Amino acid sequence: MQRSSRDAANVPKRLAEWLASQLPDGAEPTVTLQSGIAANGMSSETLILDATWTEKGERREGEFVARVAPAAQDVPVFPSYRLQDQFDAMSLAAEQSEVPVPRVRWMEPSGDVLGTPFFLMDRVDGAVPPDVLPYNFGDNWLYDAGVEQQRRLQDSTVAAIAGLHGIADAASTFGFLEGDATGDSPMRRNLAWTRGWYDYAVPDSGPSPMVERGLTWLEANVPSGTDTVLCWGDARIGNVLYREFEPVGVLDWEMATVGPREMDLAWLVFAHRVFETIAGSLELPGMPDFLREEDVRSTYAELTGVEVGDLGWYQLYDAVQWAIVFMRTGARQVRFGEIEEPDDVETLMHHKPLFERLLDEAGA
Ligand SMILES: Nc1ncnc2c1ncn2[C@@H]1O[C@H](COP(=O)(O)OP(=O)(O)OP(=O)(O)O)[C@@H](O)[C@H]1O
Ligand SMILES: [Mg+2]
């Protein structure tokens, strides 16, 4: 899937000039771009680069990744990219937990260098379970691993989430991640933000009656009595670099916020259910025993002592958010001439059967 219309030719030179302004005088940095855009993910642009510079009289080398906000003409998934917030969230989460969050280095907030804001972080050596094609289709390192290794990956990912949730005083430290959303609880503010995100998506792809049904029901049934933790947000295995089936890099902080623990746990489980739905529609066996809700809940309870509440509401919430992602990625495919504009945007929702079932079960 094409993501960007950025011209890569001038990028190394521009990055080197900018790096010179971030480093002490005489650093004389050089930048080499390894490849264009990394394989996973559909939202931000990721540049893989090597840099050299002089420090204390010696030539140094570093391996970095630039996370670049998408340009407006590239039909971004989200209405805004808050790169500075992502940078700050990663920096604070790395500092206040044992979770392996890549070290963030330099932030370019103005957009003057590459056209949109970006930041550089350390590159981490590891493998990400593929999204395209989804890991549960087979023929990749995770699918081909033994059940024990798959379980190690599952449990260590739950442990990483638990580690983030264990950060004290999240509501005050990470409250800035809620932006200007309104509502009398973190969950209500998150829901209000999602409605705004849907409203942003409609002009490019047309309305979705399913999303509207979902949002209306969710707004009328918001769970209460939950505690507030740092939520990683896009908490799925496709956003983790692994070595030996354990996380070495927790990536992709653009949906990070504060809210109930259930949000991250449901998202972890639901992302797999989306892929299982797609595999099922292609009559592939998939990975039905992997990332099951009851297993994730009990691992989390063992690690934290917290029995989370029912995830039903959150999974319908996830179905709505995935639907909006599909609205945006579909609109982008239309913009880049990859597909014809559909009459009905819901035909682009690859999790539609699951979404319908969840709406019916909820009585939405
Ligand atoms: N610090 C890093 N070290 C090594 N590789 C990285 C690093 N950050 C990102 N990558 C690579 O880039 C890919 C995409 O990164 P990421 O998931 O953060 O962004 P994205 O997928 O574009 O966003 P989204 O998931 O919202 O669409 C990762 O799968 C990984 O291969
Ligand atoms: Mg990603």
CA 93, 97, 101, 104 torsion: positive or negative?
A: positive
Q: Name the token pair of 113.
A: 């260098």
Ligand 1 centroid to Cα of residue 69, in Å, is 12
Look at 27-41, 177-191, 217-231 and tell me which has the smallest mean pLDDT.
27-41
Ligand 1 pocket, Cβ-based, cut-off 6 angstroms: 38, 40-44, 46, 65, 102, 121, 123-124, 128, 234, 239, 241, 249, 251-252, 254
Helix residue ranges, H only, the chain: 11-22, 83-96, 147-165, 170-173, 186-205, 209-220, 261-281, 293-304, 312-335, 352-362
Confirm whether pTM is higher than 0.85.
yes
Looking at residue 180, its amino acid is D
Active-site residue (options: 74, 85, 155, 234): 234
Taking the C-alpha atoms of residue 124 and residue 170, their distance in angstroms, rounded to an integer, is 26
Our mutation pick for probing the ligand 1 site, out of 68, 251, 255, 325, counting the most ligand atoms within 8 A of Cβ, is 251
| pLDDT above 70: percentage of residues in the chain | 95
The mean per-residue pLDDT over the stretch 144-159 comes to: 98
Looking at residue 164, its amino acid is L
Q: Strand 240-243 and strand 257-259: pairing?
A: unpaired
Our mutation pick for probing the ligand 1 site, out of 46, 104, 118, counting the most ligand atoms within 8 A of Cβ, is 46
Active site residue 234: yes
Which region holds residue 303: left if phi is over 0, alpha if psi is between -120 and 50, else beta? Answer: alpha
User: Is the per-residue pLDDT at 43 higher than 80?
Assistant: no
Ligand nearest to the CA of 3: 1
Residue 41: which pLDDT band, with cuts at 50, 70 and 90? very low
Ligand 1 atom nearest to 44, measured from its CA: 22
DSSP 44-98: SEEEEEEEEEEETTEEEEEEEEEEEPPPGGG--SSS---HHHHHHHHHHHHHHSS
Coil, strand, or helix at residue 105? strand
Taking the C-alpha atoms of residue 274 and residue 270, their distance in angstroms, rounded to an integer, is 6
DSSP 279-301: HHHTT----TTSS-HHHHHHHHH
Residue 83: which pLDDT band, with cuts at 50, 70 and 90? very high
Helix or strand (DSSP H, E) at 37: strand 30-37
225-284, pLDDT tens digit by residue?
889 999 999 999 999 999 999 999 999 999 999 999 999 999 999 999 999 999 999 999
Ligand 1 atom nearest to 251, measured from its CA: 18
Taking the C-alpha atoms of residue 303 and residue 156, their distance in angstroms, rounded to an integer, is 10
- Reference 75, options 335, 345, 254, 350; nearest CA is 335
User: Is the per-residue pLDDT at 174 higher than 50?
Assistant: yes
Ligand nearest to the CA of 249: 1
Taking the C-alpha atoms of residue 332 and residue 77, their distance in angstroms, rounded to an integer, is 9
Q: Is the peptide bond prior to 164 cis by the omega test (within 30 degrees of 0)?
A: no
Mean pLDDT rounded to a whole number for the chain: 94
The mean per-residue pLDDT over the stretch 336-354 comes to: 95
- Reference 136, options 3, 263, 282, 267; nearest CA is 282
